[in-house]
Structure formats: C-alpha cells, structure tokens
Amino acid sequence: MAGPIPPEIGVLVYMTTYISFFNAQTGPIPTSLGLLKGLETFDVESNSMDGVLFQPEYVGAEGMSNIVNFRTSLNGFVGTIPSEIGEWTKLQNLWFAENQITGTLPTEIGNLVDMKALLFYDNMITGTLPTEIGNLKQLEWIDMENNQVSGSIPEVFFTNLELEEVIFKNNRFSGTISPSVGDLSKLTALWLSFNMMTGSIPTELGGLTNLKELELQLNKFTGTIPEEFGNLVSIDFLDLEQNQLSGTIPSVLFGSNLSGLRILYVNNNQLTGTIPANFGQSPRLKDLWMNDNLFTGTLPTISAGEFSFLGEFLNT
C-alpha cells in the first residue's frame, strides 16, 4: 500500500482496525480519524509518514475514545505529546519509537492504567519521568532508549510489578538505583547504561532470578560487585563496564549458578585483587572483558575443556 491515507477514511464509522505497517504510506494522519469512535487498533509502523503525530481532532475523549493499540513507530512524525492523551483510558500499546517527537511526558500518562507497552525510543523527549508513571500497574515493557530524559527514576516506578523489560539506555538519568528494584520479580531486561547514575549497585538486584540482561555500563556507579549476583540464574548478558567499581571480582560470577552467562564486561573500572581461580569454569562464556582495572597476580590455569565457547577475551 502506497500514498497517503485519504481523509475519506472518516466515513468508515464502523471501522475497528486499521493496519498498514511495512508499507509505503506517506503524508500525515488525516484528522478525520477522529470520526472513527469505534477504532481500537491503528498501526502504521514502518512507513514514510510525517506531520504532527498527536492531533487534537483524534486525541482525547472527543476523538478515538476506544483506542487500544496505537502504533506509529519508524516514521517521520513530529510534535509533542499532549495532555489529552490521558483521555485514551483503554490504551494498552502506545508505540511511537523512531520519530522526531519533542517535549516532555505529560503527567496525564498516569491515567493510562491499562497500558502494557510504552515504546518511544529514538525520539527527542526531555524533562523527567512523572511520578504518575507509578500508576501503570499493568505495564510490562517500557523502552525510552536514546532520548534526553533526566532526573532520577521515581521510587513509585518500582511499584509497577508486572514489568518485564525496562530500557532507559542513553538518556540523562541521575541519582541511584532504588533497592525497590528487587520487587520487580518478573524483570528479564534492565538497561540503564549510558546515563549519569551514581551510588552503589543494590544487592537486591541479585534476587531477580528471571533477569537475562543487565546493562549498567557508562555510569558513575561505585562500590563493589554484589556477591548476590551469584543468584542471577537466568543471566545471559552482564555489562558493568566503565564505572568506578572497586573491590574484587566475585568468584560466583563464574560459578555453576550462572551457567547461561555468555557476555561479561567488567572492564574500565577500579577492580583489584586476583582473577578468581574458577574463572575458566563458566561453561557458555563467549565474551569476557576485564581490561583497564587494577588486578594483580597471574591468570589462573585454564584446564582442558574450559572456555570452549570463548570468542573474545580482554585482560590488558
């Protein structure tokens, strides 16, 4: 399907679904979309559309009041997020990643209590995370990578206990990681890398037994690597590089509990001591970066059959 969405779409008052992703649609979203009161799904991802994304004719209670899925990622939309979006109270999926949306997240985002997925990575959103985001108790997936969101992560955010993926990579977050992160027992991915966060890594992270990916690189974290990381039985990717971590590498990172660990980056910190004697016993380790620390001693002997998957090892 190519070309613009015709304004005559507004006469299709019984339409409930419009799906046209991965096509060659162009132009703006017609304001007549607001006439489709029963529309539940609008999906135009991966097209070449442009114009203002959230227009008053269809955003809010007077527009598409029954909208459940609004997916507009990978286009060229512009504009800001209006407060009226809080009127879309049935919304479960709001995806507008890889556009050119500016401004801040309105506090009214907290009205969207049925939200399951909020994806707006690769935009130009600024400001802070509103505390009202703690109202999204059904939220499972939030991805705001590559924006300019600043301030600390509100404590109430960690009361959204259905969260499975939290992607805050490459923003301007500061402050610490709350120990309440340990309450997110369903979490499988936590990406906080490329921010300006400080403080120690909470030991409570070690209780997240479903966690597969933990990215904390390029922040200003201090203190030691928690021994509790030895309880991350599902971990596949662990990146702690380019912080200010000190102390030794816990031997539990190479223990049998972490048998699925494939990527371990602890380089460019201030770690000391010797390399754990069991460091060759991690059965699936593919990349191990330990360079640019303050280690002493020699590398432990690697026995036959150890590091059988290792593809890259840095320890200069």
Query: Which domains does the chain show, CATH number per domain?
Result: 1-173 (3.80.10.10)
Amino acid, res. 191:
W
Q: How far apart are CA 250 and CA 276, in angstroms?
A: 7
Q: Which residue has the tokens 């015709």?
A: 6
Q: Among positive and negative, which fits the CA dihedral 261, 264, 270, 275?
A: positive
Q: Which long-range contacts (CB under 8 A, 24 or more apart) does 303-311 make?
A: 306/280, 306/281, 307/280, 307/282, 308/283, 309/262, 309/283, 309/284, 309/285, 310/285, 310/286, 311/286, 311/287
Query: What radius of gyration do the chain's Cα atoms show?
Result: 23
Q: Count Cβ atoms below 10 Å from residue 231 Cβ, excluding itself.
A: 18
What is the per-residue pLDDT for 297? 86
Question: Tokens standing for 80?
Answer: 């800001």
Q: One digit per residue, pLDDT tens: the chain, 316 residues?
A: 789 999 999 999 999 999 999 999 999 999 999 999 999 999 999 999 999 999 999 998 789 999 999 999 999 999 999 999 999 999 999 999 999 999 999 999 999 999 999 999 999 999 999 999 999 999 999 999 999 999 999 999 999 999 999 999 999 999 999 999 999 999 999 999 999 999 999 999 999 999 999 999 999 999 999 999 999 999 999 999 999 999 999 999 999 999 999 999 999 999 999 999 998 888 889 999 999 999 998 887 766 555 655 555 556 5
Task: Give the global pTM.
Answer: 0.94
Task: Tell the burial category of 305 from Cβ atoms under 10 Å away from its Cβ (0-12, 13-18, 19+).
Answer: exposed
The Cα 105–Cα 8 span in angstroms is: 32
Q: How many residues does the chain have?
A: 316
Q: Are 49 and 75 in contact (CB under 8 A)?
A: yes
